[in-house]
A = this chain, B = another copy of it.
């Protein structure tokens, strides 16, 4: 399997300049907004996306300079495999977020539910489709215990503890 070369299609402009400012997921600070500025030549690719409420954005974790196979998620003290967590320090450094589409203007996609750093390069945008992307009876391993009773965890990336 050979190497694959990708070219960013645009860039994210976000109020989050540093990791420590961000919520662990964008839905936890729904009032924050950001936008993707696509390179002009990709603007036609946004046609019809305004009919969707949400999009999946794929991007490059440009601030991560390392690759780990085990990592400790923000909510945990013990480490898990990199493919069981959402850490940026993963092979290929691809990030994925579901965002809420607010409006589209020419080459710009305005969105809320932001959990991405400013200046993040964008690799792809896909429509979020209920019938493809949602599942029933989902079990979330080590994550579930942190969200019991529908609560948002009080322990965020700002409150790291070490053991």
Interface residues of A (CB under 8 A from B): 1, 3-9, 11, 25, 27, 41-42, 44-56, 58, 60, 69-70, 80-86, 90-92, 94, 96, 98, 100, 121, 123-135, 137-143, 147
Please determine whether A49 and B92 come into contact, CB atoms closer than 8 angstroms: no
Q: A125 to chain B: which residues have CB within 8 Å?
A: 83
7 further contact pairs, Cβ within 8 A, besides A48-B85, A49-B84:
A4-B7, A42-B69, A42-B83, A47-B70, A53-B137, A56-B96, A83-B126
| One of B92, B134, B141 near A124 (C-beta < 8 A) | B92
Of A27, A50, A85, A133, most buried by chain B (CB within 10 Å of CB) is A133
> Chain A binding site: helix, strand, loop or mixed by DSSP?
mixed
Distance of A141 Cα from B123 Cα, bound (Å): 22
Distance of A53 Cα from B139 Cα, bound (Å): 5
Q: Distance (Å) between the CB of A106 and the closest chain B CB? A: 12
